[in-house]
Amino acid sequence: MDRHYMKMALALAARARGRTSPNPMVGAVVVKDSRIVGQGFHARAGTPHAEVLALAEAGDEARGATLYVTLEPCCHHGRTGPCAEAVIAAGVAKVVIAMLDPNPLVSGGGIRRLREAGVEVVTGVMEDDALELNEVFIKYITTGLPFVVAKAAMSLDGKIATHSGNAKWITGAEARAYGHCLRDWYDAILVGIGTVLADNPSLTTRLTAGRGRDPVRIILDSRAKTPLDANVLNRQSAAPAIIATTAGAPPERLEALRQAGAEVLVVNEGPRVELAQLVKILGKREITSLLIEGGAGVHGSAFAAEIVDKAVWFIAPKIIGGQEAPGPVGGRGVDDLSGAAALERVKVSRLGPDFCIAGYLKYRGG
């Protein structure tokens, strides 16, 4: 029964996917005499935590009940009060927790406080599911860096476009819709100037019935070549547009882009934007996750810099062919297969006629 109720709590938490940054997703269920008497989830940063909402719904029924929560209740004052104290005050007899909070301000402290107050605590129920649900938060809170996802769509023979540059559409509607879900879930999206010049994308989220949140839009543009009328600079979206550039970009172009509504972010000196430095800057801005939808050059740079945590690859069962047709990852690449980055914890799924392969990067020596 612990797994049954924890599964419900995890489902509640996932309802806020893409909305809680820089906080984790958390769900809570209060059970008494085999009845659910309260439930809640953390909707967004600054709003009540899941435990508080679930306990409020339970009211007096919380006394002597069991609380199922996907993340260790906090024990410190942040934007809201400590949840561990609220649990104790409500008279909960037992707390079942999926995973410990990786936040150094909390980790283990919430559990200690509950046990000191005489509350029975069980941990590790559906822990792997909870860890995957909050993989963004875990990376960010322990390193200060955003969780980076590289996404690409290619044919069965590894092409992202024809030799003439045509790429619409390699994958079907289902895969493209899932791609927009990824935009909705992650804080920011990144492409290179090559993609902007070739495709003029808006980089917005387009889901059915107008649902979806537009991510912060970031363009790698070392020489400030982004056209002033580019769709990514459109005012119809409230999402900021950031031009990540270098000190070598022409000052007059930088000012023109500012006037067009973009934020100009000078990352470093050299000829190219250093991605390792860029993600550090983004982390300091509380951008906790980054989706890379670049072409071969941007993906090649991202993998070479070893900033990618997860790859999501869509593969269409079609053959494009052509030696001049581009692949999804450019750059120099590795000299020997022993140096290739490998995917771990790989999942394969079907989206209409296409396949999606997702996994976590393990770099050589990492």
Active-site residues: which are they?
A: 51
Tokens 């709003």 sit on residue: 47
Q: List alpha helices for the chain, DSSP H.
A: 2-14, 50-58, 83-90, 109-116, 127-133, 135-143, 173-185, 193-199, 251-259, 275-284, 296-304
Measured distance CA(280)–CA(7) in Å, rounded: 35
To 10 degrees, the CA torsion angle through 24, 30, 36, 39? -40
Measured distance CA(314)–CA(356) in Å, rounded: 5
Residue type, 238: A
State how far the alpha carbon of 225 is from the alpha carbons of 93, 215, 256, 269, in Å.
Answer: 62, 22, 11, 17
Both tokens of 351, joined, read: 């989206």
Look at residues 145, 184, 187 and name the one whose alpha carbon lies nearest to residue 45: 187
Tokens 């809680």 sit on residue: 20
Burial class from Cβ neighbours inside 10 Å (0-12, 13-18, 19+) for residue 13 reads buried
Look at residues 205, 36, 103 and name the one whose alpha carbon lies nearest to residue 83: 103
Burial class from Cβ neighbours inside 10 Å (0-12, 13-18, 19+) for residue 50 reads buried
What does the DSSP assignment read for 260-276?
A: TTPEEEEEESSSS--HH
To 10 degrees, the CA torsion angle through 282, 284, 287, 288? 110
Tokens 């509950």 sit on residue: 114
Beta-carbon contacts of residue 25 (< 8 Å; ≥ 6 apart)? 13, 14, 16, 17, 41, 42, 70, 133, 134, 137
